[in-house]
Structures are given as C-alpha cells and as structure tokens.
Copies of this chain bind each other. A is one copy, B any other.
C-alpha cells in the first residue's frame, strides 16, 4: 500500500460510502469490486467503504445493507493495488469492535465523525484507531451550524485525541464559499494537523467550496463520482479533478480514467439522476438533515404550514438528528403565529 504523504491534496472517494444512501445500502460485492478496481487503477488515494451511516449502520433504523460491510471492505482491500481503503465511524452507531475488524481486513484510514458540537464523543475511537496504527481523521458534521469559534474548539479536541486531520463536513451542503474560507482559515491558524473539507452539492457549490477550501490550505478533500452521495451528492470527483488540473494542480490521479469510470462504471449504477431537486435544495437552503424532510411534510399537512417554513425554522434553531419530535412543535408554533397575524 502506497503512502499518500507526497500528494499536495489527498482525495477520498466516497461514492461507495456516502453513495450507499442513494443506493439504499444495496451495493453488491461485485459493484464494490468493479468501482474500487477502476478507482485504484486511476490512482485514487483513498476509497471509503462503509454503510452510509458508517460502520455498524446496517440496522432497521438506518437501513439494512444488502451485503455485510465487512465483506465489502475486504473485497475493496483485495482490489486495491495502491489505494488505501477508508472507513467511516460515527460513535454511537459504530464501535471499536467494528473498527478493529475493519482494520484486520486491511482498512488503513478511519474518519471518526461527530456532530460539530459533539467532538468529545470521538476521544475513545480516535485513540483506539491510533493504537491500531491506522490513519485517523476527525469529521465534524453539519459544520455550517456552529459558529467558527465553536468549530475550532471542537477540532482542537479531536486534535488532542490524536486525530491527524480534521474535516469541515458540510453535511447539508449549506455553506457558501466565503463561509468555507473563513472556517478553513480559522482551523489552519489554530491547529497543527491537516485540515480537510467534505462538501455536498445542495446549493450547487460543492466543487467551488472544495476549491475554496484547497485555496485556503485544506489538504484532504472528498469527492463522489457522478455526485453519488446523500442529498444532492458530493463534489463530483471527476469534475473537481478537471478543475484542479485547469488550476495547474496535479494530484497524481488519471483524469481520463476517472471520466471513463464515471461514465461507464458508476453512471450505469445510478438509481436515478443526481440533480438538485426540491428536497435537496431546501435541505441546503435551510441547513437541515435530509431525514427531516418527510417529517416536515407530515407536520406541514397537519398544521397547514408550508413544510419549507418548518425546515427553515428548524435550521435556524439548529435542531439536530434525534430531535425529530421538535418538528411537530415547530409546526404548531408557526401555525399559531400565522393564526395570530
């Protein structure tokens, strides 16, 4: 396995993990092998393979995987001549047990993900990954929803636990380029480790935000081929690489091979077009989780309120996953306010 330390920017392809949401976690082993092989041959640096919600995510709550993710990780490792297989772990969903298993199968990098204000729950997993001699990154999700100072404070926690990089994770695709710049800059000033950026395309800004992050010094970047990721998908890898080449940045990945695999390998797998449609757009605009959409529609019907008004209010209140019961409360409040006008 090649070390990626010589690259100006290290790319992690997430279509086999973030894309798992779009595939409703029904990736077959053959699909994972085919995509991984093509990515590895193109020179991709890291290939993330896990349930969409990370190790251990295959549950009734988050969606059952068709194939046990350990089998998929093992298959991906077997296909890699040079790339490193990465896994995602959300403490509370995945455990050190699964991390150890993934490590034994050959995963070389783990990203330990928490809500942007809850970095403290990552301590044990980051430390354990270091003991396993894995590369380990912190992943601060919904990074748009915390003030910059809070983000910095949380990233420093992850650094103190032993993370070798921390990602600004724009889970809802809600950040604007200037907001990305501000965050990356603040982290660069306060941390001694690498900074990463993971962007979603809900506001059609994922590639531009990623470029902005790189310009500010981020050295770890995520992309998904053909936008195969949650919401409106991620920064489209083959497009991002085209832009980086246009900027004169060579990251050592073969652009033509990436374009071909996007067209011939990943394209035919897409269950539907990865366009920015009503749901994903409002998710980015309001800055909320996609899981809120259905709840807001139901609450909107019940209280005769536009579900978008509910989502925007939830975004303002920075409601997080697990607080879905607040959606009805917010809808009721909005209905009351409306009736009093």
Check if A294 is an interface residue, CB within 8 A of chain B: no
Check if A281 is an interface residue, CB within 8 A of chain B: yes
Contacts of A147 in B (CB 8 A): none
Q: Check B246 against A176 for contact (C-beta < 8 Å).
A: yes
A281 CA to B238 CA, complexed, in Å: 9
CB distance from A278 to the nearest CB of B (A): 4
Q: Check B259 against A208 for contact (C-beta < 8 Å).
A: no
Contacts of A285 in B (CB 8 A): 242, 245-246
Check if A171 is an interface residue, CB within 8 A of chain B: no
Q: Check A236 against B204 for contact (C-beta < 8 Å).
A: yes
CB distance from A41 to the nearest CB of B (A): 16
Task: Check A273/B276 contact, CB under 8 A, given A203-B239, A281-B238, A308-B256.
Answer: no
Check if A37 is an interface residue, CB within 8 A of chain B: no
Check if A23 is an interface residue, CB within 8 A of chain B: no
Check if A94 is an interface residue, CB within 8 A of chain B: no
Contacts of A226 in B (CB 8 A): 275
Contacts of A263 in B (CB 8 A): 277-278
Check if A44 is an interface residue, CB within 8 A of chain B: no
Size band of the A side of the interface?
Answer: 35 or more
Contacts of A277 in B (CB 8 A): 262-263, 267
- Per the 8 Å Cβ criterion, residues 254-285 of A in contact with B are 256, 259-260, 262-263, 267, 272-278, 281-282, 284-285
Closest to A240 in B: B204
A281 CA to B208 CA, complexed, in Å: 15
Contact of A274 (CB < 8 Å), options: B239, B242, B275: B275
Check if A38 is an interface residue, CB within 8 A of chain B: no
Contacts of A208 in B (CB 8 A): 177, 204-205, 207-209
Q: Check A205 against B203 for contact (C-beta < 8 Å).
A: no
Contacts of A260 in B (CB 8 A): 278
A276 CA to B274 CA, complexed, in Å: 9
Check if A211 is an interface residue, CB within 8 A of chain B: yes
Task: Check A242/B203 contact, CB under 8 A, given A177-B208, A256-B308.
Answer: yes
Contacts of A209 in B (CB 8 A): 208
Closest to A287 in B: B246
A274 CA to B227 CA, complexed, in Å: 12
Interface string of A35-73 (1 = CB under 8 A from B): 000000000000000000000000000000000000000
Contacts of A211 in B (CB 8 A): 176-177
A238 CA to B285 CA, complexed, in Å: 11
Contacts of A274 in B (CB 8 A): 273, 275
14 A–B contact pairs at CB < 8 A? Answer: A203-B239, A204-B204, A204-B207, A204-B208, A204-B235, A204-B239, A236-B276, A238-B281, A242-B281, A242-B284, A256-B306, A262-B277, A263-B278, A273-B275
A interface residue numbers (CB < 8 A to B): 176-177, 201, 203-209, 211, 226-227, 235-236, 238-240, 242-243, 245-247, 256, 259-260, 262-263, 267, 272-278, 281-282, 284-285, 306, 308
Q: A203-B243, A236-B276 are in contact. List 8 more A-B contacts (CB 8 A).
A: A176-B247, A201-B204, A204-B204, A208-B209, A239-B281, A259-B278, A259-B281, A267-B277
